[in-house]
Structure 1
């Protein structure tokens, strides 16, 4: 019995979820645009984190959480108020936000652990979306758009485009490339 091998066409991507298949063909310049998105988000997050860490006063999210968020009137106001009023949680956020932004920014800029960094970047942007709740012009705002950019960077394996993820994946452990030996690393690399 012969099995048919699918024909691999250049720049074609396909996905099937819930019985629905979508298929697309990328332009040959797509890799440059995916790289540009990765670098743009990396630079933006690195800058945001460094400005918080190197600012004239120590970073604290409390004023934003207890002042701006309730004024925005989003659906998670009570959650953000709890964070702003709970000492240990506020202390965690005050460290996680700036250091997380720096780590995500650096990872994206060098192209290492890009899917992991993009996941946490998308998580942060989803959180910022609800904290900065502004639907005056519809449900889509800059925070939502940046969340989708992070997800696209992860989906397209942007760390493999002039990034260290390519080298990390090829690193050999007992003569086997790392990604072949540990295929689940594909969820954090790429």
Structure 2
């Protein structure tokens, strides 16, 4: 079977970028999705199973000492007991569910969005710019956004099946177009 060359093109603000995907691109997109899924799943499970995760000290101690632009916000969050209780649940379980979504390719865009959001918060919280503004947290945020942009859940993932699930004789994404923001 001959492979087709896939062209990419996007115009933003009057500037157009064009490119061609390599035939191996699909495997690298899949690898990014699974890698980030496993990383988040492992990190979340470690926190959940240890039962000792607490964000309070990090929010009020570590963040203000690194001089980040959002340090005051993080300290305010760390000094709000109900918010710390929320974060103590949201971070570990969020990592678990983001990881599962990516590993299985289910609700991939939703999982990647929340993964990118968490990485943005980690980027601001772990502020270290001595070697430039790009660090691992920033790079991971871009990987999550790439996974979402490429619709990586359709590559050996459950999203390919969920999108085709028929409701009233038509595929889910045709009947409910907004689901494209969650799946793919």
State the TM-score, normalizing by the size of structure 2. 0.96
Shift of 1:58: 2.4
2:36 alignment partner, one of 32, 41, 46: 41
- Matched pairs, number: 181
Write the distance in 2 (CA, Å) between the matches of 1:182 and 1:10: 30
1:142 alignment partner, one of 113, 119, 136: 136
1:25 alignment partner, one of 20, 28, 42: 20
Partner SS state of residue 46, structure 2: helix
Consecutive unaligned residues in structure 1, runs of 5 or more: 1-8
Instruction: Map Cα deviations across residues 141-185 of structure 1 (whole Å, 9 max, x no partner).
Output: 000000000000000000000000000000000110111111111
**Structure 1 residue 108 and structure 2 residue 102: aligned?**
yes
Q: Which residue of 2 aligns with 1:4?
A: none
Write the distance in 1 (CA, Å) between the matches of 2:37 and 2:122: 17
Consecutive unaligned residues in structure 2, runs of 5 or more: none
1:79 alignment partner, one of 52, 73, 80: 73
**Structure 1 residue 11 and structure 2 residue 6: aligned?**
yes
Q: Which residue of 2 aligns with 1:179?
A: 173
Q: Which residue of 2 aligns with 1:169?
A: 163
Q: Which residue of 2 aligns with 1:5?
A: none
Partner SS state of residue 21, structure 1: strand
Shift of 1:74: 0.5
Partner SS state of residue 16, structure 2: strand
Write the distance in 2 (CA, Å) between the matches of 1:178 and 1:68: 45
Shift of 1:45: 0.3
Q: Which residue of 2 aligns with 1:51?
A: 46
Task: Please give the root-mean-square deviation of Cα atoms over the aligned residues, in Å.
Answer: 1.0
Q: Which residue of 2 aligns with 1:118?
A: 112
Write the distance in 1 (CA, Å) between the matches of 2:42 and 2:27: 22
Write the distance in 2 (CA, Å) between the matches of 1:13 and 1:159: 19
Counterparts of residues 55-74 of structure 1 (less than 5 Å): 55=50, 57-74=51-68
Residue 5 of structure 2 contacts residue 22 of structure 2 at CA under 8 Å; is this kept in 1? no
The list of structure 1 runs, each at least 4 consecutive aligned residues, that deviate by more than 6 angstroms after superposition, is none
Q: Which residue of 1 aligns with 2:122?
A: 128
